[in-house]
Amino acid sequence: MSSLIKYTGVILGVLLAFVVQAQEMGIDTYELNSESNNLQGKMLGEVITLDAEVNTYFLYPDDWVPGSLKFTNGNVFDNLRIRYQAFTDELITYNKNGRFLYQIEKELVESFTFQDGSQSRKFVRLTKNNNQQTNMYLEELYKGTVSLMVNWYIYEQSVSPYKDKNGITRAVEYHLRKDYYLYTEQDGLTKIRLNRAALLSRFPENQRQIRKLLRQNKLHVNNEFTMVNALRLLAENNLTE
Amino acid sequence: MSRAFKILFLVVMVCAGLKSMAQTTANRELVVFTDRDFCISGDTLWLKAYVPKELQRYGNIVHLQLESQTGNLIASRAVKCNNTQAEGFIAVPDSLQTGLYFVHAFFNAQRSNGVLKCTGRSVYVYNRFEEAIERLPVVEDKAAVVTPESADNQIDIDLEDKNYRRRDEVKGSINTGDNEFVYMVASARIIEPFSHKNSGFMRFGMKDRNTGIPPFPEEDGVLISGSLSNRETGDAANSLVLLTVTGNETYFDYYYPDSTGLFHFFLPDARGNANLILQPLAVGDKQFDIKLTPNFMSAVEQLKFDSTFVNPKQAEIIENSIKGTFFNKLFRGVSIRSKDDFEMPNPYGMPFYGQPDNHIVPELFIDLPNFKEISRELLIGFQYRDRNDEVTFRMLDYGQDRFFDTEPLRLINGIPVFKNSFFQDLQSTDIASIDLVKSERIFGDLRFKGVLMVSLNDKSNSWLAQQPNVFQLKVPCIEFPKQANYNPIAEGRTQPDTRWQFLNEVVDSNEKWPFSFQLSDVKGDLEIKVEAITKSGKLYRTSKIISVQ
């Protein structure tokens, strides 16, 4: 028993020495291995911890999914475990070498893709020109001269106080919502509803031809799928000018 | 009879197959062209390399190298290839001995190919202090020599005049018509008979002697490799190696070596001579040694050489060329100056530790005598603790609203510093700016609990000399694009003009390609030649020799 205490003491001492050294360096190194060496470029980001609220309400998809990421400088990172934090509009990934979570430096991201069930989703980072230029992640539903993008966000709704499943009293509910945007390189992002009137108002000079084209193709624009088909038709008939 | 015919047919088919295989192999080889057959030590040898499309998957950085008869690397350059061509130069060392040397080219990613084939060139180098050259080596192994086929029927070199005198202007055109050539190089030089006869294209089998270098495809950047060892024992060490490249923008990277101690860094878009600062992260007082591994390939087999007498006429011409080069340098200066130019844009467009939460410019405030005062007055969210003569730093963690319990990453001019004593005596007049990052940042798998970055007015980094385990090295990266200057000097006839080379350009026209150049004061046989390569990798050449009186 006494020798066990001695050994435990020695091991703790050694570990403490390492910790002290690591502290002096200002760099956490003890989880590194040869897989940490990526010659093509390194990931930049900020270490985060997820509290219960974020974990329950704000993350999409529901579980960590395999994904890949492309930086604006061309660096590509594959085999990541990622999730999208819809409330703060940040991309989160897990570093298995260091066993920590971090949010990826948004300014560097060009696009990321992940597998959501059987569907592969691609998000791109675009800048919205409002009063201040805002970087946003938007899902790319259709890419063309006019692209259809979706902004996933968390809508915070005030409700009568209630107790959640953990017994905590709450007065808000969170809902995952979507805003749709048309994107062109020239005009940037323009918010749009998924209906025919909104589509026609976006192309006022070609309204008659578009109306005729939709009628001929029996296309009733009322959801993502039909809007994508409508935009594809418009592009094929050069009506997106 | 019928059986004999069958065997004959089989033999013919096998031969045809082998020939087509040889052509296919040549199609996947880099082919090197030089602007001259000989050079004087201290000269600049200008090179062009044809890069077949099939090789472009290996990246776009071609390594050009000059190798001795015994397979030792003399000099090398990394150049960026543009589509199917790479251009560059090799500065032949001033002290290089007289002898036969070889120029090769390769992509780093070709290391995994086993024996690598390349069509290079042999070049004679005459040491400029050599008084009398009596014998010179020649290649005995003729199988390695590639003799280009004649292109007299396909390429026509037309000159306006028939007779030329010194300093005359040579004008003409190269007519290529319809042909199957994918790359053509036109050159003109005064012939030095010995090298003209005994140098030329050679097919090299090259092998990776530095097995530690990975076959990484270098795309717009260069791979730097090296090894880390324990200074006391000499054994390989596997401590984390930090790299800082100083310049207009500081570049940072790390590598965690395996048990062999080998480390590799890729420097994207690095041009010129990089100033590398390598720091193995030492625990305790351990001392390390770092050695960079030169990126080169050596010949698989040593060629056999014979020694041949140089006849008096040849010796006289060689002597004249040595003198001519001396005068050329005297009056024209050195064409390539060793510049310390370096360019490397930040691949992330931001510091590796992210955008700082605070950027402080001390110049905007009153002068403060030391870093303790600076931190108290200007650095909000940063603690400078001085207890029992030990200085510790702590950074505020914004997200958690508390201070981190360990030291932040400390940088001076972008270089990691592991002793707080370096900061103690810094006055606000020494400091250009201070960046504070008040969150836990990651760079790859490294984690930093806050970052303190001090940018000094003095960028010389002389303070580095005081740090153990810091290795400062100058490393050549991608060569800046440069062109040879074969033109005469502007001063005119008052100064001697002893140029031997006049032209070395890619013929980029399928019809009439005009050229002109002014001859120098050197008399002798002038050769204007075109060397060409077909898509299948076959070499052709045609030349016109005129006497300059």
DSSP string covering B192-241: -HHHHHH--EEEEEEE-S-TTS----BSSEEEEEEEEEETTT--B----E
Phi/psi at B177 (nearest 5 deg)?
Answer: 55, -155
Residue B259, chain A, CB below 8 Å: the answer is no
Same domain, B452 and B371: yes
Residue from B161, B157, B93 nearest B128 by CA: B93
Q: Which of A194-203, B295-304, B418-427 has the lowest mean pLDDT?
A: B295-304
B99 domain-assigned: yes
% of chain A beyond a pLDDT of 70: 89
Predicted confidence (pLDDT) at residue B404 exceeds the cutoff of 90: yes
Residue B447, chain A, CB below 8 Å: the answer is yes
Of residues A23, A36, A105, nearest to B444 (C-beta): A36
Same domain, A126 and A239: no
Q: CA of B85 to nearest chain A CA: how many angstroms apart?
A: 24
Same domain, B187 and B110: yes
Predicted confidence (pLDDT) at residue B478 exceeds the cutoff of 50: yes
Partner-chain contact B446 A97, CB within 8 Å: no
Partner-chain contact A36 B265, CB within 8 Å: no
Q: How confident is the model at residue B63 (pLDDT cuts 50, 70, 90)?
A: very high
Q: Domain span at residue A210?
A: 193-241
Residue A107: list chain B partners with CB under 8 A.
Answer: 349-350, 355
Predicted confidence (pLDDT) at residue B5 exceeds the cutoff of 80: no
Of residues A27, A45, A102, nearest to B409 (C-beta): A27
pLDDT tens for residues A67-98? Answer: 999 999 999 999 999 999 888 999 999 998 88
pLDDT confidence of residue B339: 60
pLDDT confidence of residue B166: 85
Same domain, A218 and A151: no
Same domain, A109 and A179: yes
Chain B interface, mutation test: which of A23, A24, A25, most B Cβ atoms within 10 Å?
A25
Q: How confident is the model at residue A168 (pLDDT cuts 50, 70, 90)?
A: confident
Partner-chain contact B446 A32, CB within 8 Å: yes
Q: How confident is the model at residue A4 (pLDDT cuts 50, 70, 90)?
A: low
Same domain, A19 and A92: no
Q: How confident is the model at residue B24 (pLDDT cuts 50, 70, 90)?
A: very low
pLDDT confidence of residue B441: 95
pLDDT tens for residues B339-349? Answer: 668 999 999 99
Partner-chain contact A97 B445, CB within 8 Å: yes
Same domain, A223 and A181: no
Same domain, A17 and A49: no
Same domain, B52 and B167: yes
pLDDT confidence of residue B20: 44
B429 domain-assigned: yes
pLDDT confidence of residue B490: 65
Same domain, B189 and B47: yes
Three-state secondary structure along B430-489?
HEEEEEEEEEEEEECCEEEEEEEEEEECCCCCHHHHHCCCCEEEEEECECCCCCCCCCCC
Q: How confident is the model at residue B357 (pLDDT cuts 50, 70, 90)?
A: very high
Q: CA of B267 to nearest chain A CA: how many angstroms apart?
A: 9
Of residues A34, A43, A98, nearest to B256 (C-beta): A34
Same domain, B40 and B136: yes
pLDDT confidence of residue B204: 82
Same domain, B203 and B70: yes
Predicted confidence (pLDDT) at residue B55 exceeds the cutoff of 80: yes
Q: Helices in B28-149 by DSSP H: which ranges? A: none
Residue B281, chain A, CB below 8 Å: the answer is yes
- Please answer whether residues B184 and B531 qualify as being in contact, where contact means their C-beta atoms are separated by less than 8 angstroms: yes
Mean pLDDT of chain B: 88
Residue B251, chain A, CB below 8 Å: the answer is no
Distance CA B106, CA B67 (A): 13
Predicted confidence (pLDDT) at residue A14 exceeds the cutoff of 60: no
Residue B438, chain A, CB below 8 Å: the answer is no
Q: What's the whole-number mean pLDDT along residues B198-224?
A: 89
Q: What's the whole-number mean pLDDT along residues A17-40?
A: 71
Partner-chain contact B265 A46, CB within 8 Å: no
B470 domain-assigned: no
Q: How far is CA B512 from CA B50, B181, B183, B188, B538, in A?
A: 21, 15, 15, 17, 23
Q: Collapsing DSSP states into helix, strand and coil, what is residue B309?
A: strand
Same domain, B118 and B43: yes
B302 domain-assigned: yes
Quick one: closest CA in A to B285, which residue? A21
Q: CA of A159 to nearest chain B CA: how many angstroms apart?
A: 28
The label of the residue with tokens 């016109």 reads B544
Residue from A86, A92, A116, A113 nearest A43 by CA: A92
Same domain, A26 and A49: no
Question: B263 or B54: which carries more pLDDT confidence?
Answer: B263
Q: Which of B187-201, B404-418, B462-476 has the lowest mean pLDDT?
A: B462-476
- Please answer whether residues B124 and B195 qualify as being in contact, where contact means their C-beta atoms are separated by less than 8 angstroms: yes
For the record, the structure tokens of B101 come out as 């040397």
Predicted confidence (pLDDT) at residue A165 exceeds the cutoff of 50: yes
Chain B residues 499-538 within an 8 A CB cutoff of chain A:
none
- Could you report the predicted ipTM of this complex, rounded to two decimals? 0.85
Predicted confidence (pLDDT) at residue B23 exceeds the cutoff of 50: no
Q: What is the CA radius of gyration of chain B?
A: 29
B227 domain-assigned: no
Bridge partners of B542, per DSSP, are B530
Last residue of a domain, one of A159, A177, A192: A192
Same domain, B514 and B430: no
pLDDT tens for residues B84-115? Answer: 899 999 999 989 999 999 999 999 998 887 78
Same domain, A135 and A238: no
Same domain, A14 and A62: no
- Please answer whether residues B118 and B47 qualify as being in contact, where contact means their C-beta atoms are separated by less than 8 angstroms: no
User: What is the interface size between A and B, counted as CB pairs within 8 Å?
Assistant: 116
Residue B546, chain A, CB below 8 Å: the answer is no
Bridge partners of B530, per DSSP, are B186, B542
Amino acid type, B202:
M
Residue B408, chain A, CB below 8 Å: the answer is yes
pLDDT confidence of residue A11: 58
Of residues A23, A46, A72, nearest to B440 (C-beta): A46
Same domain, B309 and B363: no
Query: What domain count does chain A have?
Result: 3
Q: CA of B437 to nearest chain A CA: how many angstroms apart?
A: 10
Chain A interface, mutation test: which of B259, B348, B420, most A Cβ atoms within 10 Å?
B348
Predicted confidence (pLDDT) at residue A15 exceeds the cutoff of 80: no
Q: What's the whole-number mean pLDDT along residues B202-221?
A: 87
pLDDT confidence of residue B67: 92
Residue B225, chain A, CB below 8 Å: the answer is no
Chain A interface, mutation test: which of B279, B352, B420, B445, most A Cβ atoms within 10 Å?
B445
pLDDT confidence of residue B323: 84
Cα A137 to chain centroid, rounded? 6
Same domain, B68 and B164: yes
Q: Collapsing DSSP states into helix, strand and coil, what is residue A159?
A: strand
Predicted confidence (pLDDT) at residue A1 exceeds the cutoff of 60: no
Same domain, B371 and B515: no
Residue B420, chain A, CB below 8 Å: the answer is no
The label of the residue with tokens 């140098």 reads B199
For the record, the structure tokens of A17 come out as 């020495």
Predicted confidence (pLDDT) at residue B220 exceeds the cutoff of 70: yes
Question: B485 or B370: which carries more pLDDT confidence?
Answer: B370
% of chain B beyond a pLDDT of 70: 93
A140 domain-assigned: yes
Q: Which of A22-26, A90-94, B16-20, B204-208 has the lowest mean pLDDT?
A: B16-20
Q: Which of A143-147, B204-208, B299-303 has the highest mean predicted lDDT (pLDDT)?
A: A143-147
Residue A47: list chain B partners with CB under 8 A.
Answer: 439-442, 447
Q: Collapsing DSSP states into helix, strand and coil, what is residue A217?
A: coil
Q: List the end-to-end C-alpha distance of chain A, in Å, as a whole number.
A: 83
B130 domain-assigned: yes
Q: Which of B275-289, B347-361, B388-402, B509-523 has the highest mean predicted lDDT (pLDDT)?
A: B347-361
Q: Domain span at residue B84?
A: 23-209+298-334+493-548
pLDDT confidence of residue B134: 87
- Please answer whether residues B441 and B423 qualify as being in contact, where contact means their C-beta atoms are separated by less than 8 angstroms: no
For the record, the structure tokens of B389 come out as 């003569």
B146 domain-assigned: yes
Q: How confident is the model at residue A22 (pLDDT cuts 50, 70, 90)?
A: very low
Residue B347: list chain A partners with CB under 8 A.
Answer: 41, 73, 75
Predicted confidence (pLDDT) at residue B380 exceeds the cutoff of 90: yes
Question: B464 or A80: which carries more pLDDT confidence?
Answer: A80
Q: What's the whole-number mean pLDDT along residues B168-194?
A: 89
% of chain B beyond a pLDDT of 90: 55
Residue A200, chain B, CB below 8 Å: the answer is no
Same domain, A66 and A151: yes
Can you give the CATH number for the domain in which B431 is found?
2.170.130
Quick one: closest CA in B to A74, which residue? B347
Same domain, A71 and A111: yes
Same domain, A110 and A218: no
pLDDT confidence of residue B133: 85
Of residues A42, A97, A105, nearest to B354 (C-beta): A105
pLDDT confidence of residue B11: 65
Partner-chain contact B264 A37, CB within 8 Å: yes
Same domain, B67 and B155: yes
Query: What domain count does chain B have?
Result: 2
pLDDT tens for residues B290-335? Answer: 999 988 888 777 788 888 998 888 888 888 888 887 777 777 665 5
Predicted confidence (pLDDT) at residue A18 exceeds the cutoff of 60: no
